[in-house]
Copies of this chain bind each other. A is one copy, B any other.
């Protein structure tokens, strides 16, 4: 194994370090966040730091970078209280990645990338029509992370839209069948292959069974 101490990592070039630390955590649920500003102008941006907080109430969080680096989505959520999260499929991955460009506030990323905004169920925020799995949230709380000026934005799920045929008999949503992608680091995108679903684990002593494939 190769060992890296944080003191060594701190000395690296910032782009090298950013690639390293951003990919250390492993595969991420990359998605497109849709919002509108106070004038109703849509904004669309790619986010990968999304985290499940709980099923009941149905809460999802995402990390917003410091306000100088990523102002538009957070501003729009503060103003309207609503946003959408849209899975990314391979057919529009280039357009999805392009939303990471630093467009000015007055630029609508749907127009810039060719993705289709769609307004559903009286949500103020636009969904991505091309996305196979998408949901809307209502803002619950913006928690400042004081150590690096980021924010944990907590929302409660209000509406869910899924392509037909994705929900299994037990409620599991087959994001693999939907071809939803996962990301690694800042710029790596991956499809998935199922390994399996495992039964609810109970304490046992059958040690030897567990490590041999």
- Mark out the residues of chain A between 136 and 171 whose CB falls within 8 Å of any chain B CB in the assembled complex: 140-141, 143, 145-148, 150, 152, 154, 156-164, 166-168, 170-171
- Mark out the residues of chain A between 44 and 90 whose CB falls within 8 Å of any chain B CB in the assembled complex: 48-61, 63, 65, 85, 87, 90
Q: Which residues does chain B contribute within 8 Å of A94, judged by CB atoms?
A: 198, 209-211, 213
Partner of A204, one of B18, B98, B184, B204: B98
- Knowing A4-B160, A16-B170, A93-B195, the reply to whether A182 touches B27 (Cβ < 8 A) is yes
Partner of A101, one of B9, B85, B100, B203: B203
Q: How far is the CB of A162 from chain B (nearest CB, A)?
A: 5
Q: Are A200 and B187 in contact (CB under 8 A)?
A: yes
- Knowing A97-B201, A152-B152, A164-B1, the reply to whether A114 touches B180 (Cβ < 8 A) is no
Q: Are B189 and A195 in contact (CB under 8 A)?
A: yes
Q: Which residues does chain B contribute within 8 Å of A135, judged by CB atoms?
A: 24
Number of copies: 2
- Knowing A9-B58, A58-B21, the reply to whether A102 touches B203 (Cβ < 8 A) is yes
Q: Which residues does chain B contribute within 8 Å of A10, judged by CB atoms?
A: 56
Q: Are A53 and B145 in contact (CB under 8 A)?
A: yes
Mark A118-141 against chain B: 1 for CB-CB distance below 8 A, else 0.
001100000000100101000011
Q: How far is the CB of A112 from chain B (nearest CB, A)?
A: 7
Q: Which residues does chain B contribute within 8 Å of A191, judged by CB atoms?
A: 192-193, 195
- Whose C-beta in chain B lies nearest to the C-beta of A149? B54
Q: How far is the CB of A35 from chain B (nearest CB, A)?
A: 18
Partner of A210, one of B90, B95, B103: B95
- Knowing A143-B143, A203-B102, A211-B94, the reply to whether A150 touches B114 (Cβ < 8 A) is no
* A31 interface hit (Cβ, 8 Å): yes
Q: Which residues does chain B contribute within 8 Å of A31, judged by CB atoms?
A: 26
